[in-house]
Amino acid sequence: MIRVLVVDDHAMVREGLELLVGRFEGIECVGTASDGAEAVAVARATALAPDVVLMDLSMPGMDGVEATRLIAADDDAPAVLILTTFADRRHVIDAVEAGAVGYLLKDSGPEQLEAGIRAAARGESPLDPKVAGALVQARRERRPDVALTTREREVLLLVGEGLANKNIARRLGISEKTVKTHLTSVFSALGVGDRVQAALWVERHRSELEAPTSE
């Protein structure tokens, strides 16, 4: 059984979604919340243990983006699936960067909503076709020729090889603290949040990293 938490500040929408979700086979609504702060509290309630959170974005007090960020940061966090009227690039990017696994619009049909919930519960990333273009464009604008120093490129390439900071420091003859400093700059330049994302970036742009520089 897939356990769903419905979050929306409009009572009629919230109650309608609760009824609709309850009609899907093998899916149940285990709770509702009317704002972001309540959503975080309910999502963390051990007794409810939702698998998927249907999250509205525009709500009074704590909005859906901040609530998503807090929920997604928890260990064993439920998958947050955005369900909103906003299809613009800013909202899409903000939600995904906060940790949302998928993004659907409120004009979606029941079949699309059901499929989205099931996909999110499986660890997939359901996206409404109307918003997918925003993510594609954002990826295109992340230029591979980011401004990195020679040392930062060396550190990044070694991250791509799976080396820990201690091993990178030993390989390059620098301190582990210096490695961490370089990684902070590298993550910022690439627009990534952790070593896994950085390693994936290396796989995509290894030829640019290994090309000679004028430095």
- Per-residue model confidence (pLDDT) at position 117: 97
| pLDDT tens per residue, range 1-46 | 999 999 999 999 999 999 999 999 999 999 999 999 999 999 998 7
Using alpha carbons, select from 140, 129, 72 the residue that is nearest to residue 100.
72
Tell me which of 119, 140, 161 is where a domain ends: 140
What is the C-alpha separation between 42 and 177, in angstroms, rounded?
40
Residues 26 and 45 in one domain: yes
**Residue 186 resides in a domain:** yes
Residues 6 and 51 in one domain: yes
Tell me which of 140, 160, 195 is where a domain ends: 140
| pLDDT tens per residue, range 171-193 | 999 998 899 888 888 887 887 77
| pLDDT tens per residue, range 129-168 | 888 766 656 555 554 456 788 898 899 999 988 898 999 9
- Per-residue model confidence (pLDDT) at position 69: 93
Residues 168 and 134 in one domain: no
Q: Which residue has the higher pLDDT, 93 or 137?
A: 93
The sign of the torsion formed by the CA atoms of 42, 45, 47, 49 equals positive
What is the C-alpha separation between 175 and 86, in angstroms, rounded?
47
Domain count, the chain: 2
Parent domain of 178:
150-210
- Per-residue model confidence (pLDDT) at position 135: 63
Residues 37 and 131 in one domain: yes
Over 70: is that where the pLDDT of 123 sits? yes
Over 60: is that where the pLDDT of 86 sits? yes
Report the CATH number at residue 33.
3.40.50.2300
What is the distance between the terminal CA atoms of the chain, rounded to a whole angstrom?
A: 57
Helix or strand holding residue 158 (H, E): helix 150-160
Residues 41 and 111 in one domain: yes
Residues 18 and 73 in one domain: yes
Report the CATH number at residue 163.
1.10.10.10
**Residue 215 resides in a domain:** no
- Per-residue model confidence (pLDDT) at position 146: 66
Residues 10 and 103 in one domain: yes
Residues 159 and 133 in one domain: no
Residues 129 and 73 in one domain: yes
Produce one character per residue of 60-95: b if its CB has 16 or more CB atoms within 10 Å, e if not. eebbbbbbbbbbbeeeebbbbbbbbebeeeebbbbb
Amino acid of residue 32 = T
Query: Exposed/middle/buried for 28, CB within 10 Å: 0-12, 13-18, 19+?
Result: middle
Over 80: is that where the pLDDT of 170 sits? yes
Residues 109 and 203 in one domain: no
- Per-residue model confidence (pLDDT) at position 215: 47
Residues 106 and 165 in one domain: no
Residues 13 and 37 in one domain: yes
Using alpha carbons, select from 161, 150, 120, 162 the residue that is nearest to residue 212.
150
**176-190 vs 165-172: helix crossing angle, rounded to 10:** 110
Please report which confidence band the pLDDT of residue 212 belongs to, taking 50, 70 and 90 as the band edges.
low
